[in-house]
Structures are given as structure tokens and as C-alpha cells.
Amino acid sequence: MKKRKHASEAAWAPGASKRPGAGSRLEIPGFLFWLPILWVALQGCASLGNPQAVLQELNPRQTLPLAWQISGGTGAALYVLGSIHLGPEQGWEYPPGILEALEDSNALVVEVNVNEVPSETLQRLIGHYGHQPPGLSLRRTLTPATWTLLENRLTASGIPLRAANRLQPWLLSNLIIMDAIRKAEYFPDEGTEDEFIRRAGSRSIVPLESPTQQISFLGTLPRRTQELYLIDTLKHYNDSDHFVELYVDAWRSGDEKGLEKLIFDSYLQDEAFKPFFDSIIFDRNVRMGKQLKVFLDAGQHTGESVFVVLGVAHMIGNRGIAASLAAQGYRVHRLSRSELRRARKDGEPLVLHP
């Protein structure tokens, strides 16, 4: 795949698209919350074993990601795909079990649908929450040591220091991570959620959160939390290529334990990350889990199937949505790799596991 040149200062204006041919579409909002999850997980990546046995059976674009069937209420049955918010230039290839479940579904539920808000509105929101107030600069708010670290790291990125100095720490952190992801030849608009929104056809698309909510939430994180995020991002920037590949490989192969280790080791090992994880993952798990229960319990959805695409970090672990719904008495079945690979015969119904 052809390498792309670093972005210019104009291209790094918040809200600008960096992918050739992407037009003016904003790339940040669709995976704003996933970027912090990706980066704090970097601390746990060194000891993760690569799931080579599964990956050797796949071509570079093929996937066997984590997916669950959830039922047991008086309403719809759910087919939940744990997503990743980036992909290669031509997108991922999904196994028959996932694509057939989408075909059988009556509606598509996603974490966020960036297309529901005009790009001009999103640019204004990012500008409002992502820029320093008049008269202030990032350099004036960071310690001298952190500013020196920032200068050194940005030299290797496509982000001009002058532009970075005008940004809030949360937005600069996201832009640095996006720069690292692009260097690994991945793109936000080829992630799982965008792909299934494109495949939705005439189905209703129901977002659990809005782009406006995500931007305003990150923009109002406590200053100390934002600075912690930026410092950690800068410290691990040089390890980014290796980590992105580890994360992608764990997702593609459906390595649940590997993903848990990557995502949650920082939470378990460093108390400083606890408020960050509570806000970015666990509190949102509770809210989104309640929204999924509406589909599971609503009588008007009886006999229907709803296809759900949620960031994989929200589904796994003992505080994930899958474990929470199982604890509340719903039937939660994680599909095996053989079930994902299996193509159903014409007219064969989707089997819900008891």
C-alpha cells in the first residue's frame, strides 16, 4: 500500500479530513471515545501473545471478531458485533455469520452515527470544545517538562507545533493518535461502525449516543484528566505502530482475553487511570446497557432481530455489557469461530441459542 505524506498545518485544523477522497467529512467524532481507550491500553501491550494460529488462516483483511447473541426478554433478540473504529484502505472482510445476521435484522443500532449531524455543526463544536480560550495557549498551561516532551514528539508527527499550541489537551491527544494510526495505514472511515451503516440499506439506524454528546463530554473532562491523557500519549508515541498492530490482530482473531489485557491492564495497575476509565468506559456501559434492554424487553419488538455494533471495549470484561446483561438473567451466547464462518443454507433461519 502506498505511504501517504505527513499532513500540512492546514490539514491538521480540527475537523479537516486527512484521507484522500474523503471530502470534508469529519473523521474524529465517529471514534472520539475509542481513541483514549486505545492509547491507555498501550501500557499493557508488551506481554501480549500474538494470536497467530487464527491469523494464519486469514488474509490481511479477513476478520473473525467477537460477536454475541443476546435474548431472553419479551422483545427483540440482539446480535451484537464488537467493533473497532479503524480499518485498512479497502475495509475489512466479515465472515458469513455476521453478514447474514445483518440481513436478517429489522434495525441497526450503533454507538454513534456521525452522519446524523452536519459536518459544519461538528466543526463548530470541535472548535468550541477543542481550542484554548482567547489569550491562553497550551504552552502556558503545561509544565515545562511536558512542553519539552511535546516539542520532541511532534517533530516526528505531521502536527505543527504552532497549531498544537492552540488546542485543548484532549483534542491534541486524539490528533496525535490519529496521526499514528494513519502511519500504520489504517483509516477511521473504514472502521466497523461506518461499514455497517453503509450496509444498512432501508433499515432504521438507531444511535445510542450522538456526536454532539461525545464531543461535549470529552471537552468537559477535568483538566488534570486531559493532561494525563496527553502525557501518556506523548510517552508512548514511539511504540504506536507495534501497538496498533497488536490491537488490530487481537480484534481480527476474536482474542477476548488478549483484548481485555490490552484495554484494562492500565486500569488495574495504575489508580490514576480509574476516573478516566470510569468516565470513558464503565459509566457509558451502564447507560448503553439500559438502552439495549429497551429492545430486549419492549413487546412491540417481539419476534424481531436487531443488529448492534458497539466498540468491543464496552462488551468485554467483568464490567462489560455482555456480563451485565447475563447477570440480569438474559441469555448471552458468544458465537464461536465456526459459527461465524458458517454460511446458512437458503431459507435456513438464524438460530438463537437457549
User: Which is higher by pLDDT, 107 or 8?
Assistant: 107
pLDDT in tens, 2-34: 333 333 333 444 444 444 334 333 344 344 555
Residue 80 DSSP class: E
pLDDT in tens, 176-218: 888 888 888 998 889 999 999 999 999 999 999 998 888 888 8
In a 10 Å sphere around its CB, with 0-12 CB exposed, 13-18 middle and 19+ buried, how is residue 319 labelled?
middle
Site of grid cell 483514549: 36
User: Which is higher by pLDDT, 350 or 152?
Assistant: 152
Q: d(Cα 338, Cα 73) in Å, to the nearest integer? A: 26
pTM given for the model? 0.85
Check residue 95 and give its pLDDT: 97
> Helix, strand, or coil here: 319?
coil
Lowest mean per-residue pLDDT among 130-139, 262-271, 302-311: 262-271
pLDDT in tens, 90-105: 999 999 999 999 999 9
The mean pLDDT value of the chain amounts to 83
**Shortest CA distance to 281 belongs to which of 295, 269, 266, 296?**
266
Is a pLDDT exceeding 60 seen at residue 289? Answer: yes
Q: d(Cα 158, Cα 117) in Å, to the nearest integer? A: 28
Is a pLDDT exceeding 90 seen at residue 251? Answer: yes
Check residue 344 and give its pLDDT: 65
Domain boundaries, the chain: 29-124+186-216+237-275+285-314+330-341
Is a pLDDT exceeding 60 seen at residue 115? Answer: yes
Check residue 345 and give its pLDDT: 59
The alpha carbon of residue 270 and the mean position of all alpha carbons in its chain are separated, in whole angstroms, by: 22
Helical spans, DSSP H, in the chain: 34-40, 52-55, 96-104, 119-130, 138-141, 144-154, 161-164, 169-183, 192-198, 211-219, 223-235, 240-252, 256-269, 274-277, 283-297, 312-315, 321-327, 337-341
Find out whether 49 and 258 touch, Cβ atoms under 8 Å: yes
Is a pLDDT exceeding 60 seen at residue 347? Answer: no
Q: What is the mean pLDDT of residues 36-46?
A: 52
